Amino acid sequence: MILSGFGARRSNTRNTWLNLAGLGFPLMIGVAVMPVITHNLGPTRLGLLGLTLALLEYSGLFDLGLGRATTKHVAERLARGDSEVSHLVVGSVLSQTVFGSLGGFLFALSAPFLTSSVFMIPEAMRWEAIAVFQVLGAMIPATLLMLSLRGVLEAAHRFDLSNAIRIPGSLASFLVPAVAASRGDSLPAIMMMLLITRLLVCCVMVVAVKRAIPTLRWRFPDDWSMLKPLLAFGGWMSISNVVSPLLIYLDRFMLGAFVGLAAVGFYTAPFDGVIRMLIVPGSLVNALFPSISGMHATDDRIALNRLFSKAVRNMSLVLAGPALVLMLFGPTLLRIWLGETFAQQGGLALRILAFGVFLNSLAHVPSSFVAALGRPDISAKFHMVELVLHVPLAWWLIRHFGVPGAATAWAFRVTVDAVLLFAAMSRLLDTPIHSLFSARGGAAPMPATAQDSC
């Protein structure tokens, strides 16, 4: 049986460390070069770059949930010993490329409207911003393709290959803007360089996927019926893909609209600094997701309970200290990193964001579990409720308090999200909430089907 070739029983701990290395090392370089980017671009252009990258994250709108759905279904098939996944992989990759290309084209066409009617882009930067957004439109399909291929590698438990490709690609995402800004290159030129980098990463990943799954055949599918279960799962995931990035980046859009691009820069720097703590839960849940899907496919309920409890406890132990340090000494660290102006404008926001990021880190665990257990509708419904609450709250806080108000709105939203997700997991696993944090992981077995809960 070919299952062993996929390393389905590889250590989750090892995979987590690989993910941490793949995310952490480039981010350390990114922190080091951020002052260079800030100095050479200035607050306004830094705000435009931050806004552009936020919009790129929102390109998950065009994913339709197929990325995570593919990872789940491929992982489940491999866990059951079925190595024939070509139709799933190729169909998903082609579909996401088509959807991403269509979405990117529409986004590029809307660039003049976005710069003139949505965001407060200064007149002197208007044409530069239009060019940046048009290049961003070309980056959307490349980004979706890259994430889709990475998801297949993770489904096959080949986190070694995934991160061997991720590291140089992520390094380029930081070093290219730093070097180009130092030379005086324009933002459109910087975005073109980032586009070329992503295309090269996609080419390497195509080869890596074939190596990870030797039985995979890159051929046009004869039967597209495999998209039905993917779209059924991805339908709810697509709602989260639309709403979740909006909940993360809505504060920046409102700051740009109500306060100005300089405020976006003062908020982006501390936010992007503290949000790097999420590489820890991100690395863990991405390593666990194929295993959770496999346990669900083989109905290993006791292992699911124990794995959930262990993940939450370990997350708390690892991140409580760094979060406390940032809450106590955030302004001082920001002053050392980016200077007095950023410390004055963003110091309080950094403290507030540190508290929110800690709770959001814990919420990553139940969020990943509910998706792997086949209930992506839970997170999607929560996100829709949170959006209704977040928009008026963020609007009021940003208009009255500016940058600290944006941080407060975001922290409150992720607190609500964490409470809702842990309550949902308590019901899904048929376990009291306090037992979710215990060393035993809860004594009660999971219900016969996850669909019977919530």
Between helix 227-258 and helix 376-401 the angle, nearest 10°, is: 10
Q: Is 50 exceeded by the pLDDT of residue 83?
A: yes
> What is the model's pTM?
0.74
Kindly tell me the burial class for residue 124, based on how many C-beta atoms sit within 10 Å of its own C-beta (0-12, 13-18, 19 or more).
Answer: exposed
Kindly tell me the burial class for residue 184, based on how many C-beta atoms sit within 10 Å of its own C-beta (0-12, 13-18, 19 or more).
Answer: exposed
Distance between CA atoms of residues 259 and 225, nearest Å:
49
- Asked if residue 452 is part of any domain, the answer here is no
HSE-CB for 263 with a 13 A CA cutoff: 23
- Asked if residue 449 is part of any domain, the answer here is no
pLDDT (tens digit per residue) in 4-17: 334 434 577 788 88
pLDDT (tens digit per residue) in 358-417: 999 999 999 989 988 888 899 999 999 999 999 999 999 998 888 889 999 999 999 999
- Asked if residue 293 is part of any domain, the answer here is yes
- Cα-Cα-Cα-Cα dihedral sign, residues 53, 55, 56, 60: positive
- Asked if residue 251 is part of any domain, the answer here is yes
The predicted model gives 211-231 an average pLDDT of 78
- Asked if residue 379 is part of any domain, the answer here is yes
Number of structural domains the chain divides into: 1
Higher-scoring residue by pLDDT: 191, 432: 191
The residue type of 204 is V
Range of the domain at 404: 2-444
- Asked if residue 454 is part of any domain, the answer here is no
- Asked if residue 389 is part of any domain, the answer here is yes
Query: Which residues 6+ apart lie within 8 Å of 132 measured at CB?
Result: 48, 52, 187, 188, 191
CA nearest to 67, candidates 47, 88, 52: 88
- Asked if residue 270 is part of any domain, the answer here is yes
Query: Which residues 6+ apart lie within 8 Å of 342 measured at CB?
Result: 38, 266, 269, 270, 334, 335
Least confident of 158-162, 185-189, 219-223, 401-405: 219-223
| Cα 247–chain centre separation | 12
